[in-house]
Amino acid sequence: MTILITGANGQVGQCFRQLAATYPDWQFVFADIDEVDITNGKAVFSFFKNLDRAGLQWCINCAAYTAVDKAESEPLLARRINVNGARYLAEACAARGIPVVHLSTDYVYHNRQNTPFVETDAVSPKSVYARTKLAGDRAVLRANPQAMVIRTSWVYSPFGANFVKTMLRLGTERSELKVVFDQIGTPTYAPDLAAAILSIIKQSEKTSFSGIWHYSNEGVTSWYDFARAIFEIRGIDCRVRPIVTAEYPTPAARPPFSVLNKAKIKDAFGLEIPHWRESLQQCLALLP
């Protein structure tokens, strides 16, 4: 098995780098911007052509423009990466009969629904980031009949910048923090997501995988409760005050409710998904 990981220096990409050692019979090719600019169609096809001898069998696209607020002022760049880049990868894979796993976001669902979203629920993106990710999902599914789009939420890991690491830093710098309590969702530990994807690939010959799927950790929380859990587990003496979203305005609108129903992916692939708090404890044990 030979698998290409794009966006290999991002949070999920680096988790695949770690997991690669536990799959000694599989070959992994890790690529980021230095190896291939996915916004350049010719560069993508040239890169894939150079990989033909490697017998590539899967592509997992972790590359994305994820600076949610900055995207409001850089819509063209966000579109080039999240839409064009995703489509070029899917097309290059389709030309070789290679399946592609494309990572997406809960932000495409942004409405007043208050029950966990299933894959067939209506989408209503409200930000540049959300609109470009949705357009990327659709482009990938159109370009490659063997495309698996996995929508996830609130991703964090020991790598890169994320909410957990920000809270650890601010919690040691300040005696009090204000965190929104009216945005509800589920944190996703990137190593869990990466492991689930590799488990799915193992089973791909037995189970249909194309289409849209959901993955996050189990459980439901708010950003406020997530922050409190971080401080509690780490023993950080920082008071967290709950505030409403209107008290913390941002350039990009955030969904008020982002809980994803994962029954489809659990039933199809027999996945046992950890609760978000269990995975948070694992992550915090790895962080200084």
Collapsed DSSP state (helix, strand, coil) of residue 265: helix
User: Do 189 and 276 form a contact (C-beta atoms < 8 A)?
Assistant: yes
Question: Taking the chain, what is the end-to-end CA distance rounded to the nearest angstrom?
Answer: 35
CA-only gyration radius of the chain, Å: 19
Q: List beta partners, residue 27.
A: 2
- Identify the active-site residue in 88, 107, 129, 215: 129
Residue 218: φ, ψ to 5°: -80, 160
The angle at the Cα of 267, spanning 265 to 272, to the nearest 5 degrees, equals 75
d(CA 106, CA 150): 10
Catalytic annotation on 129? yes
Identify whether the C-beta of residue 183 lies closer than 8 Å to the C-beta of residue 258: yes
DSSP H helical segments within 116-250, as ranges? 128-143, 163-173, 190-202, 223-234
Those residues whose C-beta lies under 8 Å from the C-beta of residue 217, and which sit 6 or more positions away, are 186, 187, 188, 189, 192, 273, 274, 275, 276, 279
Could you tell me if 39 and 64 are in contact, meaning their C-beta atoms sit under 8 angstroms apart? no
Would you please indicate which residues are annotated as catalytic (active-site) residues? 129
